[in-house]
Amino acid sequence: MLNVVSLIIGVLALIFAAVAFLPLLGWANWLIIPLAVVGAAVGMGSHSKAGRNLNLFVIAVGVIRLMLGGGIL
Q: pLDDT tens across 20-68, in order?
A: 988 888 889 999 999 999 999 999 999 999 999 999 999 999 999 999 8
| pTM greater than the 0.75 cutoff | yes
pLDDT at 73 over 90: no
3-state secondary structure (DSSP) of residue 31: helix
Position 34 scores a pLDDT of 96
Rounded Cα distance between 44 and 21, Å, is: 27
Position 64 scores a pLDDT of 93
CA 34 to mean position of chain CA atoms: 7
> Nearest-CA neighbor of 45 among 13, 4, 10, 14?
4
pLDDT at 71 over 90: no
8, amino acid identity:
I
> Nearest-CA neighbor of 59 among 24, 28, 32, 22?
32
Domain ranges for the chain, please list them.
2-20+28-69
pLDDT higher at 23 or 12:
12
